[in-house]
Amino acid sequence: MRVFSIGAIALMFVVAGCDNNSQAPSEPESAANDAASDSMPAEAPAEETPATSLVSYSEDREQCLDQNANRNAYFGDLHIHTTYSFDGWAAGVRATPPEAYQFAKGEKIGIPPYDEEGAPTRYVQLDRPLDFTAITDHAEFLGEMAMCTAEGSPSYDSDRCVAFRKGGTEAFLMIGLLLSPEEGPAARYTDICGEDGSLCRTGAETFWRRIIDAAESAYDRTSDCSFTALIGYEHTGTPGTSNFHRNVIFRNDKVPSYATSYIDAPKDYQLWEALDRDCVSGLEGCDVLAIPHNSNLSNGRMFNPNIDRPDTIEGEQARAEARNITEPVIEIFQHKGNSECINGLAGILGAPDELCEFEQVRVIGSNPMLELLDPTTDPPSIQKIDVPVTDCEDGTGTYGMVNGGCVSSNDFVRGILLTGMKEETRLGINPYKYGIIASTDSHMASPGAVSEAKWEGHVFSELSLEARLGGGILPSNLAGNPGGLAGVWAIENSRDAIFDALERREVFGTSGPRIEPRFFGGWGYEGDICSKPTLVEDGYAGGVPMGGDLPTQTSEGTGPRFIATATRDPSDKAKKLSRLQIIKGWIDADGQSNNKVYDVMGDAEAGTIDPDTGLATSDKEGVDAMCTVFTDPDFDPAVPAYYYMRVVETPSLRWNQAQCLALAPDQRPKECLNGAPKVIHEMAWTSPIWYKPQGG
């Protein structure tokens, strides 16, 4: 558990007398060292009644029976909305946080639309329960939700609450556009919240307490450790209609009585300060982290190091350290698209990567015509805006949340990681040192609903197949997808163990399948390590896992060696693995950003299918598991770099094609004839491993 204060960090740098060329104080013990020191004999099964826990608990609970020092893979969803979110309500969703947790645990729930009696007309259920989930309803407008939906509240009969309860696009925009001013703070409606906002503050505290109680009721504190419910919320801002969202996740049940929203803290560093004040430093036993998401829609705003830059180098270093502590991971994939990479941007050298097009919702050079609600007219009117998708270069843009405006290299994980290494050469600290997860961002209270064939939509414009195959106000509908899952390598399935894995970045994301990737980096791994039963133990002992820093090279020789291994999702025998890839990013001697994709194992032609039937067209099959040792052939010991692994499945039908083919030809809606991809390669991404030159 860590404690930080942005003010204290700044003072530390001032006392140390750091300047532009000075090194930052050493960081806390790395994830790599933590993992290596905890390593035990490989794959040794946990004792039925372990005498000593491998997890230091911050809460009162039974010790898990499935403890494994070499870590177990657990799958979950850390990004879920229910009827408590203003946009969930506007979509007609009435499922509450308790029902969302029931769904995550494998139970059936109803989703909209509802019949005249208020009963759901559709039901959804997971094929397999999740291991963990956090409900992350928007902190913004929890109070408005309480005032407008609780009969008898002081604001219930106000004209605006009456209009909001009608739901639909107008209700969504009426509230959501309050978060989108280009300049100045977001506002509240005084006719709902009162002149001083106190009505909404009280209402927000009530709804936040219900979210906490739902997680507490769903959490399995017995030794079975069957399900972990994490307490969280979303901090949601859209300045200039650009994405500026983060999910806030708490370690345990020691949480503040109020969820700090974008209205309270419109800057990222203001959120970190509030979490420090109200949790880490201000509430005994409280610990918290934040997870940025949908950077692909941020128009260069979320990770531009030149925005709101502190006046002094010490202030910059303090803020970088605070970001590192508070934000250890980033969401690379969800239903509104892929934030890994994009082709066509200036500023990053490297060959085009065809898999960057996977569920990519924006195309440089396109010229979308956006239809937006103008709230300044009475009644609000629709305005049409032409916002071409261009390269932001070093600047920022607008309208990313509705698929318009410019695209920055800092909107995508590869570019963000490169910018972090550039900043490290200047500050002595890498502010963008992110591990990688994925989630769904479902607004249907349906965590983990990632099946392409069974996807029933995640937002208000996707309530039927015809609607999903059409257009939408967000990057959704035909451009959207079912989203992904967060994977963690944790000692057990408990809050502390999962939170620890997130903090040390030993985590991964998938586009939906439960692929299990493992990625280790070191200097002396033997070429035959994949055949050894002690593979995992040797991986920890001889180097670092995903999320770690390569240890100092003790002698000159070849480049770093990486153990790259993965197993397919065991539940779907039709989907196998086709390739293991390692993606390298580095800053060369001239300060230029570079990336390269290495195919280290497998066959891109394995498992090809006919997109019009889904039937196999290749004699080459994928495999159930892959393992190899990769040595960087282009290694330069003077150049900082990062490496992460991407696991690629054999082709499968995308949801639009799978659901249309499931219908008889005469029952297929005309929307089945569309320009969306018919086939996809599902995949998994590991957190990076970083290399820093000795003395760098």
Q: Is residue 38 part of a domain?
A: no
- The three-class DSSP label of residue 538 is helix
Distance CA 291, CA 274 (A): 15
Which alpha helices (DSSP H) does 227-301 contain, by range?
268-275
Distance in angstroms (rounded) separating the CA atoms of residues 184 and 382: 24
pLDDT for 180 equals: 80
Band (585; pLDDT cuts 50, 70, 90): very high
Digit-coded pLDDT (tens) for 35-45: 333 333 344 44
Question: What average pLDDT score do residues 59-64 get?
Answer: 97
Q: How far apart are CA 453 and CA 616, in angstroms?
A: 17
Same domain, 234 and 330: yes
Residues 638-660: tens digit of each pLDDT: 999 999 999 999 999 999 999 99
**12 falls within a domain:** no
282 close to 307: Cβ distance less than 8 angstroms: no
Number of neighbours of residue 479 by Cβ within 10 angstroms:
18
Residues 331 and 458 in one domain: yes
Clarify whether residues 438 and 535 are in a common domain: no
Q: How far is CA 657 from the centre of its chain?
A: 26
- Asked if pLDDT for residue 16 goes beyond 50, the answer is no
pLDDT of residue 365: 84
The identity of residue 461, as a single letter, is S
Q: What residues have CB less than 8 Å from 48, skipping those under 6 apart?
A: 65
What 3 state SS string does 28-92 have? CCCHHHHHHHHCCCCCCCCCCCCCCCCCCCCCCCCCCCCCCCCCEEEEEECCECCCCCHHHHHCC
Phi, psi of 24 (to 5 degrees): -75, 155
Element of type H or E holding 165: helix 159-165
Determine contact, residues 549/690, Cβ cutoff 8 Å.
Answer: yes
Q: Is 404 inside any structural domain?
A: yes
Q: Give the per-residue pLDDT at 404.
A: 87
Sequence-separated (6 or more) residues with CB below 8 Å from residue 289: 248, 249, 326, 327, 328, 329, 499, 502, 503
Give the mean model confidence (pLDDT) for residues 106-119: 92
Which residue in the block uniquely carries the two structure tokens 């791994």? 525
**Across-strand partners of 442?**
80
| Whole-number CA gyration radius for the chain | 24
- Does 21 fall in a domain? no
* Residue 434 belongs to domain spanning: 63-507
Do 622 and 650 contact (CB within 8 A), yes or no? yes
- Looking at the fold, whether 621 and 668 belong to one and the same domain comes out as yes
Integer angstrom CA distances of residue 560 from 32, 181, 521, 532: 15, 47, 7, 20
Burial class of 116 by CB neighbour count within 10 A (0 to 12, 13 to 18, 19+): exposed
DSSP state of 280: I
Residue-wise pLDDT for 143-158, tens only, equals 999 999 999 999 999 9
Same domain, 398 and 521: no
For residues 492 and 458, state if they share a domain: yes
What are 76's two structure tokens? Answer: 């979950």
Asked if residue 6 has pLDDT above 70, the reply is no
Query: Is the pLDDT reported for residue 376 higher than 70?
Result: no
CB atoms within 10 A of CB 241: 25
Element (H, E) at 373: strand 369-374
Burial class (CB in 10 A: 0-12, 13-18, 19+), 659: buried
Task: Label residue 95 by pLDDT band (50, 70, 90).
Answer: very high
At residue 347, the pLDDT reads 84
Task: Report whether pLDDT(32) > 60.
Answer: no
- Kindly report the length of the chain: 696
**Is residue 325's pLDDT more than 60?**
yes
Q: Do both 415 and 473 map to the same domain?
A: yes
Identify whether 42 is part of a domain: no
Residue 532 CB neighbour total at 10 angstroms: 12
pLDDT at 398 over 50: yes
The string of pLDDT tens digits covering residues 445-488 is: 999 999 999 999 999 889 899 999 998 778 899 999 999 999 99
Boundary-marking domain end, from 485, 507, 529:
507
Q: Are residues 374 and 417 in the same domain?
A: yes
Total count of domains within the chain: 2
pLDDT above 70 coverage of the chain, percent: 90
* Confidence class for position 99, pLDDT limits 50, 70, 90: very high
Average pLDDT, the chain: 89
Does the predicted TM-score (pTM) go above 0.75?
yes
Cα separations in angstroms, 586 against 271, 357, 419, 589, 593: 30, 22, 10, 10, 6
> What per-residue confidence (pLDDT) applies to 140?
95
Mean pLDDT for the stretch of residues 522-535: 96
Only one residue has tokens 């591990």, namely 435
Task: Tell which wins on pLDDT, 174 or 310.
Answer: 310
Output the pLDDT for position 17: 34
Residue 270 burial by CB count (10 A; 0-12/13-18/19+): exposed, middle or buried? middle
- Contact 407/342 with Cβ under 8 angstroms? yes
What CA–CA distance (Å, rounded) separates 296 from 408?
A: 8
Q: How far is Cα 555 from Cα 154, in angstroms, rounded to an integer?
A: 72
Tell me the residue ranges of DSSP E strands in 136-193. none
Answer for the pair 251, 58: CB distance below 8 angstroms, yes or no: yes
Does residue 49 lie within any of the structural domains? no
- Kindly state whether residues 498 and 543 are assigned to the same domain: no
253 contact partners, CB below 8 Å, separation of at least 6:
59, 212, 215, 216, 231
In a shared domain, residues 118 and 158: yes
Tokens of 174: 């009426």
Residue 43 has what pLDDT? 44
**What are the residues whose beta carbons fall under 8 Å from the beta carbon of 361, sequence distance 6 or more?**
296, 297, 336, 337, 338, 403, 475, 479, 480
Query: What distance lies between CA 272 and its chain's CA centroid?
Result: 18
The answer to whether residues 409 and 552 belong to one domain is: no
- Give kind and range of the element (H or E) at residue 630: strand 625-631
Which alpha helices (H) appear in 305-401, and where do they start and end?
313-326
Element (H, E) at 316: helix 313-326
Query: Among all chains, which residue has been given the structure tokens 């990004």?
Result: 79
The pLDDT score that the predictor gives to residue 331 is 98
Give the residue from 507, 542, 571 where a domain finishes. Answer: 507
In a domain, 539, yes or no: yes
- Residue that finishes a domain, picked among 507, 531, 546: 507
- DSSP letters, 511-531, are SSS--EEEEEEES---TTGGG
- Burial (CB < 10 A; 0-12, 13-18, 19+), residue 364, is middle
In a domain, 606, yes or no: yes
Residue type, 543: G
What pLDDT sits at residue 258? 97
Same structural domain, 485 and 517: no
Note whether 535 and 565 are within 8 A (CB).
yes
What 3 state SS string does 420-445 have?
HHHHHHHHCCCCCCCEEEECCCECCC
